[in-house]
Amino acid sequence: MQVYTGNGKGKTTAAFGLALRAIGRGLKVYVIQFIKGGFDYGELYIADKLPNLKLKAFGRGKFVTEKPAEKEDVKLAEEALALAEKVIKSGEYDIVILDEVNVALDLKLIKTEKVVELVKSKPRHVELVLTGRYAPAEIVEIADLVTEMKEIKHPFSKGQQARKGIEY
Amino acid sequence: MQVYTGNGKGKTTAAFGLALRAIGRGLKVYVIQFIKGGFDYGELYIADKLPNLKLKAFGRGKFVTEKPAEKEDVKLAEEALALAEKVIKSGEYDIVILDEVNVALDLKLIKTEKVVELVKSKPRHVELVLTGRYAPAEIVEIADLVTEMKEIKHPFSKGQQARKGIEY
C-alpha cells in the first residue's frame, strides 16, 4: 500500500502516472476520488479513452475545508468508501487509487479505522494507493511506501492563476 | 517551469500524471527521458496509444551512477538535450517533460548552464517539467514550482523486489 501525502504538488498526478504505467502493462486500474467530484479536471477527460482505467469522483463541486463537516459531504465520502470496499474486495482491479482520501479522513468525513480495516483485508494482489495531504498516523503506520510531497516553491504564492491542462 | 526532485517515489509518475491531465485537455506533450533508455518501463507501452503523447528515451539499459561519466553516457545525454532544445523551441508541444534530467546534471553528463539557458529561452506557452533527484541549486532557483518528494517509508528497504506494472 502506497501513500502520497504532504503539502506539495504531485500527489494526485503521481497516482495517475502510476495508473498510466500499470495500464501500459495491461493491468486494470480503478480511481475513486474523494471530495473532488463536480469539479472540472483534465483527468476526467482521459479516463474514457483508456480501456483499463475506471474513474469515479464523489463530491459536490466545492472545496470541503470546514470542520465539522456538512452532512452532504459525509454522505458522499461514505458512498466513495463503500465503492472502494466493493472494488477492492472484488479483486478485479490490480491497482485501486483512493484519491484525496487522506483529506476526507482529516476532515472526519469517514473513520480512519474503516480505511485501516479495508487496507488490512485487501486481496494480496491488489495495490492500494492513498493520496492527499494530512495522512493520519494510523495510515502511515500500515503503509508499505510513504512519500511526502514537500512544497519548496509554489507559483500561486506569487499570484499566478491555475491553468487549465496544467494545474487542473 | 516545474521541478520534481528528492529521494522519494513519485517524481516520474507525477510528470506522467501531469501529461495525462494535459492530454485530457487536448494539449500536446513530449517526454524526453535522460539515462532511462533501454530499460523496460510500463510508460513506454502506453505512449503509442495516446495520440498527443510523444516519448523518447536516451540511455543504454543500465543505471548510470558513476562519476566521472563514461563517454557513451555523455553522448546520449547530449543527444537528449539537443532533442529537448529542438522540441521546446518549436513551440509545438504545450508540455515538455525532461525526465531524470536532474540526475544527468548531477552526474555532469550535461552542463547546468545549458539547461538554465534552455529554460530561460523557452516560449512562454511551453510548460517545462524537470524530474530527478539531486536538482542543482541553479535549477531550483529559476523554477516556478519545486516539489521535493521525500521518502518516509520504502518497501525495498524491507527487501521487496520491484514489481512489473507497479514500480516499473
E-assigned strands of B7-115?
A: 29-34, 53-58, 95-99
Give ∠ CA A101-B20-A32 in degrees, rounded to 5.
Answer: 25
Task: Evaluate if residue B38 carries a pLDDT over 90.
Answer: no
Pairing of strands A2-5, A53-58: unpaired
**CA-CA distance, B6 to B3, in Å (whole number)?**
10
Cβ–Cβ under 8 Å, residues B36 and B99: yes
Q: What is the mean pLDDT of residues B17-45?
A: 88
Q: Where are the beta strands (DSSP E) in chain B?
A: 2-5, 29-34, 53-58, 95-99, 127-131, 145-153
Q: Are A91 and A123 in contact (CB under 8 A)?
A: yes
> What is the spatial distance between Cα A31 and Cα A5, in angstroms, rounded to a whole number?
17
User: Which tens digits make up the pLDDT trace of B106-163?
Assistant: 999 999 999 999 999 999 999 999 999 999 999 999 999 999 999 999 887 667 788 8
| Residue A127: its H or E element | strand A127-131
Q: Given this structure, which CATH class describes domain A2-148?
A: alpha beta
Instruction: Report H helices in A25-107.
Output: 42-47, 71-90, 101-106
pLDDT at A47: 80
Q: Which amino acid is at A72?
A: E
> Pick the residue with more confidence: A156 or B60?
B60
Up-side HSE of residue B37: CA atoms within 13 Å toward CB? Answer: 20
Flag whether residue A165 sits within 8 Å of chain B, measured between CB atoms.
yes
Q: Which of B40, B46, B138, B167 to probe the A interface (max A CBs under 10 A)?
A: B46
Interface test with A, best of B131, B142, B153, B161 (most A CBs within 10 A): B153
Contacts A–B by Cβ distance under 8 A: 185
Q: Residue B27 and residue A165: Cβ atoms within 8 Å?
A: yes
For domain B2-150, which architecture applies?
Answer: 3-Layer(aba) Sandwich (3.40)
Smallest Cβ–Cβ distance between B23 and the set A6, A25, A46 belongs to A46
Inform me whether the C-beta atom of residue A25 falls under 8 Å from chain B C-beta atoms. yes
Question: Would you list the domain boundaries of chain A?
Answer: 2-148
pLDDT confidence of residue A139:
97
Which of the two residues, B8 and A70, has the higher pLDDT score? B8
Mean pLDDT, rounded, for B62-74 = 77
Global pTM value: 0.91
- Mean predicted confidence (pLDDT) in A90-98: 98
Residue in A43, A95, A146 closest to B152 by CB: A146
> Measured between CB atoms, does B142 come within 8 Å of chain A?
no
Q: Is A48 on the interface with B (CB under 8 A)?
A: no
Q: Give the nearest chain B residue to A165 (CA atoms).
A: B22
- Give the tens place of pLDDT for each residue, A103-134: 999 999 999 999 999 999 999 999 999 999 99
Predicted ipTM? 0.88
- List, as ranges, residues 67-96 from B with C-beta within 8 Å of A: 94-95
Average pLDDT over residues B77-84: 97
Nine-digit cell at A58?
Answer: 464523489
Q: Is the pLDDT of residue B70 over 90?
A: no
Q: How many other CB atoms are there within 10 angstroms of residue B120's CB atom?
A: 9
Are residues A80 and A44 in contact, defined by beta-carbon separation less than 8 angstroms? Answer: no
Across B49-76, average pLDDT: 84
- The reported pLDDT for the residue numbered B28 is 97
